Chains A and B, each alone.
Chain A
């Protein structure tokens, strides 16, 4: 395998406390030295990173790749390429594929396709309940054995609290982390937008903030009882974030993330029914957005995820509530995160930690850091380069972005996966 020398870049590796100009030396897919070349190192390939920032490849806690089951929207190959273009080297996929990830065969298939695509590591979450139906436990131990890094019920809340309790207990007995997207199905009902002044104005059925907070409260109480390690995904309300902060203070084994779009958009952005702003959980109020930013800065939220959901054009061509929720988000992920630094929310190393080593730790995988011996997954970007988002220009098969026309700063120039160049601008 090639030896690579990344030369002259500014390395930000929060796991190792580095925020300084450092060269990086890679051999056999691993970092072999940081700073000075090891004796006798002869590079096969040299990347000129002068003026660029070098960070560990990004770890995305939630991305839907649509395969298996919805290949008309996207495939593992197409979205791995988009991830590489976005500097993301690890994608965690939820189990709501078709078929659901509740058997080893589906895990096997995903691994094969990921390997064939060869542009990103793909780590699946297994189904917490069989077929995500919220009734029977899945074969969690078996799913874990074949490579599922956690269990999740995706966007299908387990509304039977007894089943949820037992699923948490069973997961705990195998040391499995459970990933939950808190949502009370009754309160969310048929809603498609945040319940507030915008939904009142547009006559859209609302999803109240309590749909999230009630579910968080319920889950927290069950964690108190079961001791299960739980990760809360895609929080959308400031109130839920403060409940998480309190519970962490009380010592519960929990972590949480927020999707990048919830840090930038609010329900105001729906305008007159812009279906690209139809997401689940919904875009909330400005106060929620600001509260989530503060919670991210304080460390209550450990990670930012893309919550990537590529769609075919038809999925967004209908009256707002009839459209499918989700954003094609891999390629705007890093620049939207970097905007938080520009906006003064947090410093670059703290941000990078929330995109790399912290999500990797939540998944319990070897990724997100660039010390000697670590896997050489690397993202190199030009922090000063501006570009304008156009859905048509995205690598992803999904063109559904609410950021159309936005001027974003920060463009990925190179992505390395196990020391191999998988993207260069």
Chain B
């Protein structure tokens, strides 16, 4: 690799969160531990904390998203930050030039953090490389590349249910090829010590050389789910039907949809996850999505706590457990 990780500052602390790849286990553990502070226990209400008072966070959404933007916004507000939502019609900013001009304008408004969602892989890195030194960039999803906050909230949810990452078998099912969520999950799971990560889907939706990401590839869902502790279903974009990637939703569901019968092949206490929004009857049956093993809504709740932790850490108020020293491991 050419340069040091631009995500870290000179002291090795998290400055931007662009991708999970390359982050060491203590930093990930640090995020999960810190997020515990913001996650209410059963029956507790969430308190607003003054950690980011007088900070301004701009949500730059070049791609429509209600859920992710809302949880980022809630997280920022609970940290007492001012929030600016900027929805940008991508067609008006196809030129990198105007994208940079826009960043300069927002910098001039004294923003401290950009949360970026963009349809192109590498957009968050591009922006991080061009912002003023005091600004932190959080990747809220870039193309098919990465969605690190989603992956961290998933790790948080898994840890709450399963405790020890180093004994788990995790399956990720569906459109791996186009999924930024899957890529970030794979990096997070392998970094946190999960010994076996499986990806399940038809060859058209799994990248060639996927094994080099450290996963086992299965085209047969029954075989892939056997004895798994965690089953992560991915959303299937409707447009995949048009690109000769799949024949039909019905055939996809019959091969790769999660039904109670298929779930029964996983461990009895396996949890079912989904980054949402779910397509009932396409990738997951309603009985499973709403069933006792599903933690899908919990993921949403945890998303706020984890994003609070990441925002607080990157804006430098949290000195953390001095990530360099503390050996990770839960």
Contact = CB atoms under 8 A, between A and B. Distances in A.
Is chain B a partner of chain A in the same complex? yes
A317 B207 contact: no
B178 to A, nearest CB: 8
B121 A202 contact: yes
Interface string A353-364: 000000000000
A323 B19 CA distance: 21
A272 interface: yes
Interface in A179-211: 195-197, 199-206, 208
A316 B118 CA distance: 17
B125 A273 contact: yes
Given A195-B208, A199-B207, A271-B1, A204 B121 contact: yes
A204 B121 CA distance: 6
Given A203-B144, A203-B145, A203-B180, A318 B212 contact: no
Contacts of B2: 269, 271, 274
A319 B126 contact: yes
Given A196-B208, A319-B142, A314 B121 contact: no
Contact of A201 (B100, B125, B178, B213): B213
A204 B97 contact: no
B122 A319 contact: yes
B117 to A, nearest CB: 12
B213 A322 contact: no
B3 interface: yes
A252 interface: no
A202 B122 contact: yes
A242 to B, nearest CB: 20
Contact of B99 (A196, A273, A318): A318
A201 B130 CA distance: 23
A320 interface: yes
Nearest to A317: B96
Given A201-B21, A322-B96, A323-B96, A272 B6 contact: yes
B100 A272 contact: no
Contact of B96 (A196, A272, A314): A314
Contacts of B125: 272-273
A403 to B, nearest CB: 12
B228 to A, nearest CB: 22
Interface in B76-131: 94-97, 99-100, 118, 120-123, 125-126, 130
B146 interface: yes
A322 B120 CA distance: 8
Contacts of B144: 203-205
Contact of B118 (A200, A206, A269, A319): A319
Given A202-B145, A203-B144, A271-B1, A317 B97 contact: yes
B212 A320 contact: no
A200 B143 CA distance: 12
Interface in B1-50: 1-3, 6, 19, 21
A211 B217 CA distance: 24
Contacts of A322: 94, 96, 120
B245 to A, nearest CB: 12
A269 B207 CA distance: 20
Contacts of B96: 314, 316-319, 322-323
A321 B144 CA distance: 12
Interface in A61-92: none
A208 B208 CA distance: 10
Interface string A197-236: 1011111111010000000000000000000000000000
Given A274-B2, A321-B120, A322-B120, A197 B145 contact: no
B128 to A, nearest CB: 9
B121 A203 contact: yes
Interface string B197-229: 000000000011110110000000000000000
Nearest to A312: B97
Contacts of A202: 121-122, 145
B69 interface: no
B121 A320 contact: yes
Contacts of B274: none
Interface string B272-285: 00000000000000
Contact of B121 (A196, A197, A319): A319
A314 B145 CA distance: 23
B39 to A, nearest CB: 29
Contact of B183 (A201, A271, A316): A201
Contact of B122 (A204, A206, A208): A204
Nearest to A201: B213
Contacts of A200: 207-210, 212-213
Listed residue (B95, B118, B130) with the most chain A CB atoms within 10 angstroms of its CB? B95
Nearest to B121: A203
A201 B143 CA distance: 12
Contacts of B212: 197, 200-201
- Which of B1, B121, B130, B208 is packed against the most chain A CB atoms within 10 Å? B121
Contacts of B207: 195, 199-200, 206
A314 B97 contact: yes
A197 B209 contact: yes
Interface in B130-156: 130, 142-146
Nearest to A271: B2
Contacts of A208: 208
A85 B99 CA distance: 35
A423 B208 CA distance: 48
A318 B126 contact: yes
A196 B143 CA distance: 17
Contacts of A318: 95-96, 99, 120, 126
Interface string B312-325: 00000000000000
Given A196-B209, A319-B121, 7 more contacts: A197-B209, A199-B207, A208-B208, A269-B2, A314-B95, A317-B99, A321-B120
23 contacts: A197-B212, A201-B183, A203-B144, A203-B178, A203-B180, A205-B144, A271-B3, A272-B122, A273-B121, A273-B122, A314-B96, A316-B96, A317-B96, A317-B100, A317-B126, A318-B120, A319-B96, A319-B121, A319-B126, A320-B121, A320-B122, A322-B94, A322-B120
Interface of B: 1-3, 6, 19, 21, 94-97, 99-100, 118, 120-123, 125-126, 130, 142-146, 178, 180, 183, 207-210, 212-213
